Structure 1
Amino acid sequence: MSFYDAVVPAYLQMLNSLTGLLTKAEAHCAAKKIDPSVLLGSRLFPDMLPLSKQIQLVSDFATKGCARLTHSEVPSNPDTEKTFEELKQRLAKTIDYVKSFKPEQFAGAEAKDVTFPTGPDKTTTLKGQQFLSAFSLPNFYFHCATAHGILRHNGVEVGKRDFMGQT
C-alpha cells in the first residue's frame, strides 16, 4: 500500500460521512423545530468544544495533514461557519482539496520530517509515518467521533453506519 493510500482515502471517507451526518442533523432540527444554532453549539461536556468547532477541526486536520505530509503550503481556513450549510460547504472545500493531491506527492513522505505547531511558541518534528499515525489521524478521528457523539447525544438518529459512511 502506498502512503497516499493510507492517507487520502481515510480522510475522504470521514469527511463524506460527516457531510451526511450534518444533513441528518439539519433535518432533525427542522422536524423537531429546534433552532440549528442550539445543536451547532452543543457539547458532550461543558469543557469540550461545540459541534461546529469539531467539524472545523476535522477539516483542519485533513487539510493540514495532507499539506504537511507533502510539504505543501498549509492553507488558512478561518473558523467563520455558523450554519449547517456553511459547515457542509467547508467540508466540500476540504474534500476537493484532499482530492487534489496525487499519489506521487506522497512519495517518501513516511520518512520525511514534518514540523507542526503544538503550542503558542512550540513546534514538534516527527517523521511522516509517526506524524500520521500518532498525531494527524488520531486527532482527525477524535473530532469525527466527538461530532457523531454530540449528534447522537442530542437525539439525532445516527448510528455506526452513518459514522462509517460509504466505504
Structure 2
Amino acid sequence: MDYADNALATFDNMIGTLQHLVRKAQDAGMGDEVLAVKLAEDMFPLETQFRIAINQLILALGRVYGLDMPMDEQPYASLEEVGRQLSRVRDRLALARKAGGASADTPVDFSLPNNMRFVMSSEEYLRDWTMPNFYFHTTMAYALLRHEGLEIGKADFVSHMLRYAKQPDNA
C-alpha cells in the first residue's frame, strides 16, 4: 500500500467516526442548535469544525487524487446536513481509491487566505498538512459534542478498531 492509499484508509476510518458521532448526537436528541457551541470564545463552533474537516479532504482529493469538487462554503444548517456531507465526501474517497494518487514526489503548491504559501510533495502534503488539520478538527468535533453532554468515549473515536478485536487467548 502506498502513501496515498494509506491516507485514504485513514480518512475513511475517521469520516466513519464523524458519521458515528453525528448519528449518536441525533439519537441522543441533540438538536441542530448544538452546531453553534464552542469551547472558547475565540474558536470555531461545532458546525465549522465539521466543515473544515470535510473541506480538508475535499482539497486533498483535488490536489493529490485529481478529483476536484467544490468546497463546502456555506454553513451546515442541521446535523442531518452534516451527515449527508460526510456521506458525500466518503463516496468521493471510494472514487479516489480507484483513481489513485499522484506520485509521492509530485509537487503541491498552495496558499492560505493570509497569503502564506507552501510548496511540498504530495506525500508531505497529506502527512504534514492534511492529516494533522483533519485530525484536529475531527477531535474538536468530538470534544464539543462530549462537552455538550453526549455520552461518548475513546471507543467512539476509534470505533473502526472493533473490526480487529479478538477474544483474549485465556478467555
Superposition TM-score, scaled by structure 2 size: 0.86
In structure 1, the residue matched to 2:167 is: none
Q: Would the aligned equivalents of 2:51 and 2:75 in 1 still touch at CA under 8 Å? A: no
Which of the numbers 91, 97, 102 marks the counterpart of 1:102? 97
In structure 1, the residue matched to 2:166 is: none
Distance in 1 between the 2:130 and 2:35 partners?
24
Question: Following superposition of structure 1 onto structure 2, how do residues 71-150 of structure 1 map, counting pairs within 5 Å?
Answer: 71-102=66-97, 105-108=100-103, 110-150=104-144
Matched residue SS, 1:67: helix
Q: Would the aligned equivalents of 2:37 and 2:46 in 1 still touch at CA under 8 Å? A: yes
Q: Would the aligned equivalents of 1:54 and 1:147 in 2 still touch at CA under 8 Å? A: yes
Equivalent position amino acid for 1:106 in 2: G
Equivalent position amino acid for 2:5 in 1: D
Q: Would the aligned equivalents of 1:14 and 1:165 in 2 still touch at CA under 8 Å? A: no
Q: Displacement of 1:18 after TM fit?
A: 0.5
Distance in 2 between the 1:104 and 1:90 partners?
21
| Amino-acid identity (%) | 25
Matched residue SS, 1:126: strand
Q: Is there any run of 5+ residues in structure 1 with no aligned partner, and where?
A: none
| RMSD over equivalenced CA pairs, Å | 1.8
Superposition TM-score, scaled by structure 1 size: 0.87
Equivalent position amino acid for 1:155 in 2: G
Q: Displacement of 1:105 after TM fit?
A: 2.5
Q: Would the aligned equivalents of 2:108 and 2:122 in 1 still touch at CA under 8 Å? A: yes
Which of the numbers 36, 48, 57 marks the counterpart of 2:52? 57
In structure 1, the residue matched to 2:33 is: 38
Q: Displacement of 1:40 after TM fit?
A: 1.0
Q: Runs (4+) of structure 1 moved beyond 6 Å? A: none
Equivalent position amino acid for 2:2 in 1: S
In structure 1, the residue matched to 2:20 is: 20
Q: Is there any run of 5+ residues in structure 2 with no aligned partner, and where?
A: 162-171
How many correspondences in the alignment? 161
Distance in 1 between the 2:76 and 2:102 partners?
34
Question: Does 135-144 or 67-76 show the bigger shift?
Answer: 67-76
Q: Would the aligned equivalents of 1:68 and 1:74 in 2 still touch at CA under 8 Å? A: no
Distance in 1 between the 2:99 and 2:33 partners?
44
Cα 1:17–1:152 shift into 2, 3 Å = same
Matched residue SS, 1:114: strand
